[in-house]
A and B are shown apart, each in its own frame.
Chain A
Amino acid sequence: MSGFGGFLLRRTAGAVVTLLAISVIVYVVFYVTPGNVAQITCGPRCSPEQVHQVAEQLKLGDPLYLRYWHFLQGLFVGQDFSTGTSVEHCAAPCLGQSYQTDQQVLDIILAKLPVSVSLVVGAMVLWLLLGIGTGVLSAWRRGRVSERVLTAVTLAGTATPVFVIGLVLMIVVCGQLRLLPFPQYVNFTDDPEQWAWNLLLPWLSLALIEAAAFARLTRASMLETLAEDHIRTFRAYGVAERSVVGRHALRGALAPVIALNANNVGSAVGGAVLTETLFGLPGIGQELVHAVKVVDLPVVVGMVLVTGFFVVLANAVADVLYAVADRRVVLA
């Protein structure tokens, strides 16, 4: 058990180091760009006084390591911003100030987060159900026509960009058949039914693509488990095939699938950016694309750090889950 505790500690330390490294890279890349950083950060409509103030705020006169230290301090203990007339406090974790919108970056992200979380979590439920279901089914029906059809469909699924499938779904379902309204985000707390109804298509678009990868992995993992001795024993004892496949084999096959799910958070976040932009959902993905287009650097930096945090967290959880499932990993 001490081995497992040590592993947990090492993995956590690794995650923290990774996050710090990401913050260094992001900070250096963004604030050491050629050109007038204060002018870019402040936006094109800033007066020279405002630009001067931003330069002071970002401590552009200081050497780089001091500036980064200042940034890090903001993250952990918060910092104060003077807006010229008044001093505004930015509580920890302070991601800085968007001078273009006069809002704190954290507030912008928090305002958009529910949309993105709704989208990703809902889609995740769908893709796990669809992906694992399809994978089990095609492992069970192997050699039959239905398995070939499923294999072809999942292959096509992995080859389709999420915005293409979303675009086609939107045009067919909303435009031609008029089965669903063009999605408009409704708060869950306002009207749960409308919330789900409007998110159905975005969920489906994101889930179909991810489900394809899960179906392929589940199928491969199921086939491997089904070839093992204990499954043969179950069969020899006359356990019903449905129960052999659906219960005993599935249990053995799920470990890599669960690990993939956490590892896939990064690509799901990327997919969410596309889905939000396509359907016009006001989540952090859409906000990031907007911030990139208008070069609102503090918002971009904040977004990268927040999404990086989630991805690193998910990866660490995946590794720990995998180690729980297979203790040999701990020794490696």
Chain B
Amino acid sequence: MSEALAVVETAGTGTSVPAVSGARQFWRRLRAQRAALVAAAVVALLVLVALAAPLLTALEGQDPTTYHPTLIDSARGGVPIGSFGGVSADHWLGVEPQTGRDMFARLVYGARVSLGVALAATVVQVAIGVAVGVAAALGNRWVDQLLSRITDIIVSMPLMIMSLALLAIVPSSFPRPVLVTLVIGLIAWGTIAKIVRAQTLSLKGLDYVSAARLSGWGTWRIARRELLPGLAAPVITYAALLVPANISVEAALSFLGVGVKPPTPSWGQMLTAADVWYQAAPQYLLLPAGALFVTVLALTVLGDGVRTALDPRAASRLRVGTGRKAATGTGTAAGHATEKEASA
């Protein structure tokens, strides 16, 4: 991080910054951060792998659900035959213990579940959060009170516990990945609603919004045309940090055996039995754990980069060229302060 910011620093100092459009400015600031760029490349690769999962497995000639009883040693409790958990030209990353299902295929299809659920859940969270936050800020006193209290309640619900509980009651015939998406999305939208409400309230007092109201625009039109663009930065910033958090939650639920259920592969679910097999098939533990780690790390670093690129306070400091110390320190502090203000 600090290294990345130093790069921005050298790029920013000395040269006068020409006025550029928001999106272009964002890209320029993001590009200037080396760590964020690497993370973005990793994320792009992961998305590509997830999208191309059927293609990749076709290339390997395997699929994620076929059992290969001939590749496991049933006399030794289902250990894969061969070194490194049965790695071969046919099975690039070996096979699963006990079932003999192809690890590579399960891993790349698992990427679909992880990324798909996390992204879709983020969309649900952002949609509800923005709607509730804007409505609370623009509505009358009673609407605001009601929506803010509901948001408070949602925020104080422990996510893991509530997801576990909700997953208990829905019949198992309901498609599991969709269910996990909905559960995460419907429980964890509180913080984004608070941020949006606070931001909308401060935007509402600005002159250009008053001008729009004076020229007779309706609330709906003002919200869409004048307020939403101003909300983009904080919403994108927070959403970028929600995605890795959602990946962890999905993995955790599947690890506990209540999330995505077999035969659909999921990284968290693959880790459930990994501790039993780590000696005979170490890749059974290392691959899903590594995939989770790399994915969450890349998304977190990218999220941090997005925040740095969008935070006007951190950005203005970078432009003015105050010492790097101030810039790196306040990057996180400013973000935290925003959350505190929002919750106060």
On A, residues with C-beta under 8 Å from B are 14, 17-18, 21-22, 25-26, 29-30, 33-35, 142-143, 147-148, 151, 155-156, 158-164, 167-168, 170-171, 175, 216-217, 219-221, 223-224, 227, 256, 259, 266-267, 269-271, 273-274, 277-278, 288-289, 291-293, 295, 297, 300-301, 303-304, 307-308, 311-312, 315, 329, 332
Main secondary structure of the interface of B (DSSP, over half): helix
Give chain B interface residues in 283-313, CB to chain A under 8 Å.
285, 289, 292-293, 296-297, 300-301
CB distance from A11 to the nearest CB of B (A): 11
User: Does B226 sit within 8 A of A, measured CB to CB?
Assistant: no
Report if B143 contacts A (CB, 8 A).
no
| A212–chain B nearest beta-carbon distance, Å | 11
Q: A26-B165, A270-B159, A274-B252 are in contact. Are A159 and B297 (CB under 8 A)?
A: yes
Query: Taking CB as reference atom, which chain A residue is nearest B152?
Result: A18
Q: Given A22-B153, A227-B329, is A270 in contact with B161 using a C-beta cutoff of 8 Å?
A: yes
Contact yes or no, A220 B332, CB < 8 A: yes
Please name the residue on chain B nearest to A162 by beta carbon. B252
Minimum C-beta distance from A18 to chain B (A): 5
A29-B166, A155-B1, A171-B275 as given contacts; A292 in contact with B258, CB under 8 Å = yes
A308 touches B340 (CB 8 A): no
Q: Could you tell me the distance between the alpha carbons of A148 and B257 in the complex, rounded to whole angstroms? A: 38
- Smallest CB gap from A163: residue in B: B255
Contact status A163-B271, CB under 8 Å: yes
Tell me if B208 counts as interface (CB < 8 A to partner A).
Answer: no
Bound complex: CA A224 to CA B331 (Å) = 11
Q: Are A164 and B292 within 8 A (Cβ)?
A: yes
> Which residues from chain A contact B328 at a C-beta distance below 8 Å?
223
Known A171-B285, A266-B156; judge A293-B162 contact (CB<8 A).
no
Nearest CB in chain B to that of A171: its residue? B278
7 A/B residue pairs, CB under 8 Å, sorted by A: A18-B153, A21-B150, A151-B2, A161-B252, A223-B330, A259-B340, A308-B157
Contact of B289 among A168, A256, A300 (CB under 8 A): A168
Verify B256–A274 contact, CB threshold 8 A.
yes
Name the residue on A nearest B289 (C-beta).
A164
Residue B232 is within 8 A (CB to CB) of chain A in the complex? no
Which residue of A is nearest B169, CB measured?
A: A33
How far is A224 from B333 in the complex, measured between Cα atoms in Å?
Answer: 8
Contact check, B168 vs A297: say whether CB atoms are below 8 A apart: yes
Which residues of B lie under 8 Å from residue A33 when comparing CB positions? Answer: 169
Chain B residues with CB under 8 Å of A163's CB are: 251-252, 255, 268, 271
User: Known contacts A161-B251, A167-B289: does B300 contact A273 (CB below 8 Å)?
Assistant: no
Find chain A residues with CB under 8 A from B274 CB. 167
- Once the chains bind, are B1 and A151 in contact (CB under 8 Å)? yes
A161:B169 contact, CB within 8 angstroms: no
Interface residues of B (CB under 8 A from A): 1-3, 149-150, 152-153, 156-162, 164-169, 171, 244, 248, 251-252, 255-258, 268, 271, 274-275, 278-279, 285, 289, 292-293, 296-297, 300-301, 325-326, 328-333, 336, 340, 344
Determine if B1 and A307 form an interchain contact, defined as CB atoms under 8 angstroms apart. no
B293 with A292: CB separation less than 8 A: no
Contact present for A303 and B275 (CB under 8 Å): no
When distances are taken between beta carbons in the complex, the residues of chain A under 8 Å from B160 are 267, 269-271, 273-274
Residues in B whose Cβ lies below 8 Å from that of A167: 271, 274-275, 285, 289
Contact B156 A315 (CB under 8 A): yes
Q: Contact between A159 and B300 (Cβ–Cβ < 8 Å)?
A: yes
A21 touches B153 (CB 8 A): yes
- Interface pair B168/A300, CB less than 8 Å apart: yes
Nearest CB in chain B to that of A40: its residue:
B169
| Min CB gap B114→A, angstroms | 11
Q: Is the CB of B156 within 8 A of A18?
A: yes
A196 to B248, CA, bound (A): 28
Contacting pair A158 B257 (CB below 8 A): no
B-chain residues with CB within 8 Å of residue A17 when the two chains form the complex: 149
Write out the residue numbers on chain B whose beta carbons fall within 8 Å of the beta carbon of A151: 1-2
Instruction: Give the chain A neighbours of B159 by CB distance below 8 A.
Output: 266-267, 270
Using A18-B153, A159-B293 as known contacts, say yes or no to A224 and B164 having CB atoms under 8 A apart.
no
Complex Cα–Cα for A18 and B167 (A): 22
For the A-B complex with A22-B153, A159-B293, A170-B275 known, give 20 more contacts whose Cβ atoms are closer than 8 Å. Answer: A18-B152, A30-B165, A35-B171, A162-B252, A164-B292, A217-B332, A220-B336, A223-B333, A224-B330, A224-B333, A256-B340, A266-B157, A270-B158, A270-B160, A271-B160, A273-B164, A278-B275, A300-B164, A300-B165, A315-B156
Rank and list the top 3 A-B pairs by shortest CB-CB distance, nearest first.
A270-B160, A223-B329, A159-B297
Find out whether the CB atom of A14 lies under 8 angstroms from the CB atom of B168: no
Of A170, A223, A307, A329, which contacts B161 at CB under 8 A? A307
A residues in contact with B169, CB < 8 Å: 29-30, 33, 295, 297
Distance of A312 Cα from B157 Cα, bound (Å) = 8
B257 and A289 within 8 A (CB): yes
Q: Once the chains bind, are B152 and A292 in contact (CB under 8 Å)?
A: no
CA distance A160 to B171 in the complex (A): 31
Inside 8 A of B344's CB, which chain A residues have their CB?
329, 332
CA distance A156 to B298 in the complex (A): 10
- B271's partner among A164, A304, A308, A332 (CB-CB below 8 A) is A164
Q: Which residues of A contact B248 (CB under 8 A)?
A: 161
Interface centre among B152, B164, B258 (most CB of A within 10 A): B164
Contact B168 A217, beta carbon cutoff 8 Å: no
| Distance in angstroms between the alpha carbons of A259 and B339 in the assembled complex | 12
Given the complex, which residues of B lie within 8 Å of A160, measured CB to CB?
A: 293, 296
Cα(A159)–Cα(B325), bound, Å: 25
**Contacting residues, chain B, for A220 (C-beta < 8 A):** 329-333, 336
Among residues of B, the one whose C-beta sits closest to the C-beta of A160 is: B293
Contact B162 A304 (CB under 8 A): yes
Q: Which residue of B lies closest to A217 (CB)?
A: B336
Q: Which residues of B contact A29 (CB under 8 A)?
A: 166, 169
Cα–Cα, bound, A40→B278 (Å): 38
